Structure 1
Amino acid sequence: MVVARIGRAHGIKGEVTVEVRTDEPELRLGPGAVLLTDPASAGPLTIETGRVHSGRLLLRFEGVRDRNAAEALRNILLIAEVDPTELPEEEDEYYDHQLMDLDVVLADGTEIGRITEISHLPSQDLFIVERPDGTELMIPFVESIVTEIDLEEQRAVIDPPPGLIDDRAEIVSSRDESGEDEA
């Protein structure tokens, strides 16, 4: 599971800024944590120290002692190995690996596609869904749209607003638009 992306070097002693991509930074990004990297050639990296400075997490890794070594790590993704049986503490929370490859369907069972990626944006998360024809679709992971996650059935049920999915937009636009009450 990707837990962070390394940003720019901070100072001259090997610290880096980190863009956190986990809801559990204290668990995944604490001193002593060993993280895999993408690209793999950069790691694994062991966190030596961590601190918050001006609202940003700063990390120092073992063996990274100066600004040049820290800057060489820029844009590397940090990956925590997570036991597949481990579940988040909250009932309605999911780890990315639990959501990957779920089938995405409408409430009536109509197949939309398969989740191939989860994009973590500041305002909300997005499911990147590969449709059967190979095109991609972005579905906001919000309760009003993603109405059910069924891990046993390996599916995510969605109720998209008109226009989010092409087929639904065509259905809406092909309806009788008179819509006036006859009185």
Structure 2
Amino acid sequence: MHPSAAPGDRLAALGTQLIEIHDWLREELARLRAGLDPAGGPPGGGDRLRGLRAHCLTFCAALTRHHTGEDAGAFRVLAEEAPQLRPVLAQLAHDHRMVDAIVRRIEELVAEPPTGDPAATERVRGELDGLGAILESHFGFEERRIVAALDALRAEAGDAEALFGLAPPAG
């Protein structure tokens, strides 16, 4: 990933950059889910899980970094500059805790996948499906409710990486 703008420069609006990050996370989650399909990897549930472990852990770390970054960065700044958004920010932070619980379950499931256990693949698939549903709702709500406020932030508030935990992906 690389930023849409040079560090400290806002060539793209922060709201647009947030949506770019969300879109990248959606795509990565879709790739993970596709990798669980028999055509997406080697035969055998455990073998597929083992092959997906690195990608899954990378995705989970990026998602956690994004939500932690928002809580400490963008949400803190928005709470100060747009206090009317505090209830929305509290709901989004609550969502982050729910997502974190699912991410931890996924990390546990892929940490030591049992070889040849199709039920393990299905447990991971179920958690990824649940994560996808929650993230889609969360991202959509966040994009509808705070993008305009992000676009109105002063440049001194920080760049996308400081505010969102991740830089927008290469387009």
TM-score, normalization: structure 2?
A: 0.24
Report which of the two has the higher share of helix.
2
User: Which protein is bigger by CA-based radius of gyration?
Assistant: 1
Report which of the two has the higher share of strand.
1
